[in-house]
A and B are shown apart, each in its own frame.
Chain A
Amino acid sequence: RKEVEQDPGPFNVPEGATVAFNCTYSNSASQSFFWYRQDCRKEPKLLMSVYSSGNEDGRFTAQLNRASQYISLLIRDSKLSDSATYLCVVNNHDYKLSFGAGTTVTVRA
């Protein structure tokens, strides 16, 4: 089983729509969780950390479900600029961050 699994998508949504997707992780001892955003041919950039109580940053909401070992990302009121690949990242031990292969979101006008 892969350490971090994501639905590759693509999720094609119209502007203004809400889109949500999950990421599952295999190590129940995982300590911290993040969402990164990667634009085509660019480097990944930290979007947000994911906290146990769930957290929001503008139109983005992240949730953690430790019992079922998944995290989620929800994007409200999608913008064209939200089109990107979203990488799920799990910290299992010290410096060993495990990356998912990414979920591609395409927002159309």
Chain B
Amino acid sequence: ETGVTQTPRHLVMGMTNKKSLKCEQHLGHNAMYWYKQSAKKPLELMFVYNFKEQTENNSVPSRFSPECPNSSHLFLHLHTLQPEDSALYLCASSEVDRGNEKLFFGSGTQLSVL
């Protein structure tokens, strides 16, 4: 069983659809993250949850809505997305250790918005 599992692996959606990405970590970590990776660009931090509390929201448009029901599960709800939102969305987890966070990533969801 991999440490961080993410579903679905691929997603194609229209601009009017609503979909959700799911992430589950089996590592006993207390922080979970959503990152966006566009081609040839650095990973962009979207959201951070630490002990289920959202501690970071990097000016992400409201069409992306995170949910963290417990320290092992993380969702990203998507609605009325734009074609420029097409990217690889990565979930990650870490054990909070100030200044030494090591991230463990899920396999990502390759999202295409038509």
Q: Which residues of A contact B100 (CB under 8 A)?
A: 31-32, 49, 91
Q: Is the CB of A101 within 8 A of B40?
A: yes
How many Å from the CB of A33 to the closest CB on chain B? 10
Q: How many A-B residue pairs have CB under 8 A?
A: 57
Q: Which residues of A contact B104 (CB under 8 A)?
A: 46
Query: Residues 7-39 of chain A: 1 if any B CB is under 8 Å from the residue's CB, otherwise 0?
Result: 010000000000000000000000110101000
* Number of chain B residues close to chain A: CB under 8 A: 26
Whole-angstrom CA separation of A99 from B56 in the bound complex: 16
Q: Which residues of A contact B102 (CB under 8 A)?
A: 34, 46, 49
B66 on interface, CB distance cutoff 8 Å: no
Q: Is the CB of A97 within 8 A of B42?
A: no
How many Å from the CB of A28 to the closest CB on chain B? 15
Residues of A with Cβ closer than 8 Å to B?
4, 8, 31-32, 34, 36, 41-46, 49, 87, 89, 91, 94-102
